[in-house]
Copies of this chain bind each other. A is one copy, B any other.
Amino acid sequence: MKVITIPEEVFRTLDLQSYYDDIGLVPTMGFLHEGHLSLVRRCRKENSICVVSIFVNPIQFGQGEDLGSYPRDMNRDLELLEKEKVDFVFAPEPSAMYSPQFSTFVEETDLSTGMCGSSRPGHFRGVCTVVLKLLNIIRPSRAYFGEKDYQQLQVIRRMTDDLNLPLEIVGCPIVREEDGLAMSSRNMYLSPDERKSALLLNRALSRARDLFEKGERSGTVLERTVRDILNSDRKVDCEYVCVKDAASLKDISRINREAVIAIAARVGKARLIDNIRIQP
């Protein structure tokens, strides 16, 4: 496994594109967990060359967000990736990605409004910009993203279509702890008590799915069910609960096509997100 830190070095030391048919990329912010590793394994299986990027992207964090405290452990990450037989890790410093005169941004203006876009202005602009940069540096034929960040996945799919990017975006299922908590690097912010409260996110979503499977088709009822469960615990500070068309992310009041129920909530210092999809 070779670790590269300079974008130009990706071209210089290996002209990947000329030698290999299919390169897979898993973009991450590091502090890897089983969710990331599930992407890495799928990438490893589906491509001749498996590249993982580790980069805590400053421009996707807003003022007062957790850029400074975002958990990092490069040595542990590299050990985990070595075990997964990753070929290349791209782990640049911020200064290698953003020159002092950096001034070009990519903005998706439809799917990225609402949900996390409302509470995190500029977040998806930062995500789109760095993802496009990573795609241009690595030039993969496939890139892997987790469905936990469902809105992000849809925004990146749209960007890929809109900008004619020559690759496949692969979405991978949420990986959960045994008790149902969606895996996230930010779970480490949770105290043991908060960790228990955080379970409500998945429980509320599961309860909504049960209702849906028993025939409930009202988006409003499902949303209220989730919200009531979250509000039952004072340690859970609900930011949004919504039921959206799974493709367009528009509001959906009757579930007559695939929908996503999505949550963002603060528990202690952690801002957590989770979602499930339901299909009539």
Contacts and interface: CB of A to CB of B under 8 A. Distances in A.
Looking at chain A, what size class is its interface with the partner chain? 20 to 34
A105 B109 CA distance: 8
Nearest to A137: B164
B101 A110 contact: yes
A128 B129 CA distance: 13
A117 interface: no
A225 to B, nearest CB: 31
Contact of A166 (B101, B105, B108, B139): B139
A26 to B, nearest CB: 18
Contacts of A99: 161-162
A118 interface: no
Contacts of A71: none
A194 interface: no
A165 interface: yes
A166 B11 contact: yes
A104 B107 contact: yes
A169 B118 CA distance: 37
A106 B248 CA distance: 21
A137 B163 CA distance: 9
Contact of A106 (B106, B111, B136): B106
Contact of A136 (B11, B128, B129, B163): B163
Interface centre among A108, A132, A162 (most CB of B within 10 A): A162
Contact of A162 (B103, B163, B248): B103
Given A103-B110, A106-B106, 20 more contacts: A7-B164, A17-B17, A99-B162, A101-B248, A102-B162, A103-B109, A103-B111, A103-B162, A104-B109, A104-B128, A104-B158, A104-B162, A104-B163, A106-B163, A107-B107, A132-B163, A133-B162, A136-B165, A136-B166, A139-B166
What are the 10 tightest A-B residue pairs by CB atom distance, in nearest-first order? A104-B162, A103-B110, A136-B164, A104-B159, A103-B109, A104-B108, A137-B164, A133-B164, A106-B106, A102-B162
